[in-house]
Amino acid sequence: MTSEVESIGAGFKPVADERREITRNVVVPRRHPGRWIAVAVLAVLVLQFGQAISVNPNFHWDVYLTYLFAPPVIRGVGWTLLLTVVAMTVAITVAGLLVVMRDSENPILRGIAYGWVWFFRGTPIYTQLLFWGLFAVLFPNLSLSIPFGPELISVETKYIVTPAIAAILGLGFNESAYLTEIFRAGFNSIDRGQAEAAQALGMKRAKIWMRILMPQAMRVIIPPTGNETIGMLKMTSLVLAIPFTLDLTFATNAISNRLYLPIPLLLVAGTWYLAITSLLMIGQYFLERHFGKGVSAHSTRVG
Amino acid sequence: MTANISEFCVEMQNIHKFYGPFHALKGVSLRVRRGEVCVAIGPSGSGKSTLLRCINQLETISAGRVLLKGELQGFVEQDGRFHPLSSGQIAAQRRLTGMVFQRFHLFPHMTALENIMEGPAHVKGWSKDQARTKANQLLERVGLGGFGGRYPEQLSGGQQQRVAIARALAMEPEVMLFDEPTSALDPELVGEVLDVIKDLARSGITMVVVTHEIGFAREVGNHLIFMDQGQIMEEGHPRSMLADPQNPRTAAFLSKVL
Ligand SMILES: Nc1ncnc2c1ncn2[C@@H]1O[C@H](COP(=O)(O)OP(=O)(O)OP(=O)(O)O)[C@@H](O)[C@H]1O
Ligand SMILES: [Mg+2]
């Protein structure tokens, strides 16, 4: 109701000027009665809801508190966080390469980039993870050899593609396909003149990508990549398919199966996922602030 | 050959440029002496920008040769065949030229000072301090001392264009290329940018300027070309050519813009 006109008066700062003859406008902040009513209604609802779940015995809050910081849960949090960060790092690196390959003059590199995105985006992640788990069975030995010639080195696959590595590569490669599209959209959003201005200065390709295009693409890339990172956090629970059995969801499921009390342990897992997501969002905030240099903040908020 | 090197900074020999089937430059030849201010005028779509962009290889030419200070650009010629240079070698050749664009194209994520430092610090490999000193000198020179900390979006169009000129000058190019540097500006801002360019012209740097400012051509130009439909229709000294155009199309164009 008040939103169309609220910012005309509110937040207005008179021109800073120290000269005596200028009397600054005295601006009285507008009142917002609607906001206070909304706050009151919300407060009542929140209190009622809080009461309903805090005194409800079905939630087993005592069990929740016992297991919230239990060692297997904490270890699960650690692994989930590690999987998320490392798999995301793999995904970002691969997607960065793919996006440059897509722009390459070399048709083979372009073809590989297209094929990669086509394959990893086109097959379910669960199926991919199952295959990563079977990798050691399908290819018991990894060897480096001259085709149809002698073998140079040979290692048993299970020592290289361990469940953790399989989980990281599985999650990372799948994610890289999605990130490639996000990165591409980011780079496409930049005016062609930017690259031309850098070329005209005599800059080489790699420098143009790193110093001119990337920082500008970041503004467009970071919000959806933040989404993807949070999605990845939850996707780590799928590594059961490999099977990789140290992540948070597996840890809390194992406990609840033992206790026959699923609810409190779901709450434990939920609390931790929420906590990690909050942490990631803080990181995103600072990244956005860093790469927002030179662009007015909130430029899309309509007065 | 040696006379060539010292005498002509820019030499275009019978340049053709195709965009797909479209013939944008139809055999253009142009020689710009060292220290000369060459001004190009002509109707929209006549190929002026294309001509400029062929000089610093933002466009690949379809036929002909571009020489800067006697050196063939973009290719090595052997036994009548052209072998393209690598992108790194082309980047190195581009350091001979500096370009100023119609729409400025400042790097929005860098301050004015950082924009100017970018070339010296990250292309020439100067130290940060050296580059900063140079950038500050250039800011003074274009009348923007004290504006170094501002981001492009915090500058007016005229100020942005002056920063863009300083950014190009920071590479200490042999030839400055201007593509309609004042066309995107409000009328009251045109003067401040033209003043900077006029100042540069007097400093003796070789320039090729595409512009619609006929007054500028008359005042500081010492070589005028009129382009139409991908060709140079007439060429000469600005004062005589503007006063007494020989080609009827030049006359028709001038009667419209003057
Ligand atoms: N990338 C391109 N692809 C296809 N055609 C192009 C391209 N760039 C330019 N052209 C065409 O080439 C011709 C010359 O263009 P150019 O930009 O050099 O004209 P100009 O003389 O600079 O015009 P203006 O005064 O409007 O800037 C035009 O007809 C234009 O449509
Ligand atoms: Mg043009």
Residues of chain A in contact with residue B99, where contact means CB-CB under 8 angstroms, are 197, 200
pLDDT at position A9:
41
Flag whether A16 is in a domain. Answer: no
pLDDT at position A156:
85
Answer yes or no: do A294 and B108 touch at CB < 8 A: yes
Flag whether A190 is in a domain. Answer: yes
Residue pLDDT, tens place only, B161-212: 999 999 999 999 999 999 999 999 999 999 999 999 999 999 999 999 999 9
Structural domain boundaries enclosing A186: 71-144+152-291
pLDDT at position A151:
79
Q: How many domains does chain A have?
A: 1
Flag whether A191 is in a domain. Answer: yes
CA distance B145 to chain A (A): 19
CB of B42 within 8 Å of a chain A CB? The answer is no
Residue pLDDT, tens place only, B231-254: 999 999 999 999 999 999 999 999
- What ipTM is given for this predicted complex? 0.94
pLDDT at position A299:
55
CA–CA dist B233, B247 (Å, integer): 7
Flag whether A218 is in a domain. Answer: yes
Flag whether A11 is in a domain. Answer: no
CA distance B213 to chain A (A): 23
Taking the model in full, what pTM does it have? 0.85
Flag whether A210 is in a domain. Answer: yes
Structure tokens at B70: 């006697």
pLDDT at position A13:
45
pLDDT at position B6:
55
Could you count the other beta carbons within 10 Å of the beta carbon of residue B84?
11
* Cα B102 to middle of ligand 2, angstroms: 8
Flag whether A94 is in a domain. Answer: yes
Flag whether A13 is in a domain. Answer: no
Stretches in chain B below the pLDDT threshold 50: 1-4
pLDDT at position B7:
79
Residues of chain B in contact with residue A196, where contact means CB-CB under 8 angstroms, are 58, 101, 105
* Cα A184 to middle of ligand 2, angstroms: 28
Specify the CATH number for the domain of residue A268. Answer: 1.10.3720.10
Stretches in chain A below the pLDDT threshold 50: 1-15
pLDDT at position A297:
57
